[in-house]
Amino acid sequence: MSGLAENLARLEEAIASACRAAGRSRGEVDLMAVSKTYPAATIAEAEALGLTLFGENRVQEFAAKVSEIDPLRLRAERPLRAHLIGHLQSNKAQRAVELFDGIDSLDSLRLAERLNEAAGRLGKRLPVLIEVKLSPEETKAGLEPESAEAAALLERLPELEHLDARGLMTIAPWGVAEPVTRACFRALRGWRERWAAAYPRLALEVLSMGMSGDFALAIDEGATRIRVGTALFGKRSPYTGTA
Ligand SMILES: *Cc1c(COP(=O)(O)O)cnc(C)c1O
């Protein structure tokens, strides 16, 4: 077995065990493979092992891989899907809509309007997740759930006919004790329930939460999608250069 096949087998065991412990079925949790910093060949290798959903952080970076990935996406059976999970600047919205099958890091009304226009021009309906900021770290992206901006976005989303708002995404704070991580995941679920009730025209079903270090906790707290990079592909080398 290749290193990647071994990592995937180990990961699948851990996911199955977390699902069992939480009394959930494995089918309730989608595995997103986070392929940022890894080349298209690695994505193809992971795809051959059965993975179909990939997460990328940067528009530019994925643009360089996309020609090799496209044949796998255009296939009718088991098509590969690539979503953007990193922060997106409004001025790159058009390019992002051209490149990605979904944007999981929607964090402003302005960006939503831009994505909607771009998707309209391409005749697409674009799946999006709202990224929610649940930890006080300055560096964290996402919408503050109690902000006026969040309320404005949620009010407006049902009118943006080229966007398909499917749920919420969050990144837990880094290097904190387990109860803090768990509280963050539980809070995301709470916001989904509150917003699903307050905005019945939105079908907020997806809870994208949990990464290599904390996916078991996330599954226990109701994650429907986990985003795993390191545990699959190994340690990343740091980014060099610009976005
Ligand atoms: C990099 C990244 C991940 C994956 O993190 P790992 O710890 O490598 O599993 C998940 N989500 C987001 C938003 C990321 O940027």
Atom number of ligand 1 nearest to Cα 57: 15
In degrees rounded to 5, what are phi and psi of residue 30? -85, 140
Q: Above 60 in pLDDT, residue 125?
A: yes
* Span 2-14, average pLDDT: 96
Q: Which range, of 54-58, 65-69, 74-78, 236-240, averages the lowest pLDDT? A: 236-240
pLDDT band of 242, cuts 50, 70, 90: very low
CA 218 to chain centre: 14
Spacing, Cα 227 to ligand 1 middle (Å): 6
> How many CB atoms within 10 Å of residue 117?
14
Q: Which range, of 29-43, 65-79, 121-135, 175-189, averages the lowest pLDDT? A: 65-79
Q: Above 80 in pLDDT, residue 140?
A: no
Token pair for residue 8? 């995937």
Atom number of ligand 1 nearest to Cα 230: 8
Q: Above 90 in pLDDT, residue 77?
A: no
Q: Which residues line ligand 1 (CB under 6 A)?
A: 34, 36, 57, 85-86, 171, 211-213, 227-231
* Span 8-15, average pLDDT: 98
Which of 227, 230, 235, 239 is the pocket-test mutation for ligand 1 (most atoms within 8 Å of CB)? 227
Tokens 């922060």, residue located: 87
- 152 neighbors 158 (Cβ within 8 angstroms): no
Overall pTM surpassing 0.75 (yes/no): yes
Spacing, Cα 106 to ligand 1 middle (Å): 16
What is the rounded average pLDDT for all residues in the chain?
95
Residue minimizing CA distance to atom 6 of ligand 1: 229
Distance CA 200, CA 128 (A): 17
Atom number of ligand 1 nearest to Cα 236: 8
57-16-6-33 Cα dihedral, nearest 10 degrees: -10
pLDDT of residue 196: 96
Residue type, position 234, single letter: G
Atom number of ligand 1 nearest to Cα 104: 13
Token pair for residue 6? 């071994």
- 58 neighbors 32 (Cβ within 8 angstroms): no
* Span 67-96, average pLDDT: 93
DSSP string, 133-197: --S--TT--SB-TTSHHHHHHHHHGGG-TTEEEEEEE--PPTT--HHHHHHHHHHHHHHHHHHHH
Q: What is the DSSP letter of 241?
A: S
Q: Domains in the chain, start-ordered, CATH in brackets?
A: 3-233 (3.20.20.10)
Distance CA 151, CA 153 (A): 5
Token pair for residue 31? 């595995």
- 85 neighbors 228 (Cβ within 8 angstroms): no
pLDDT of residue 240: 58
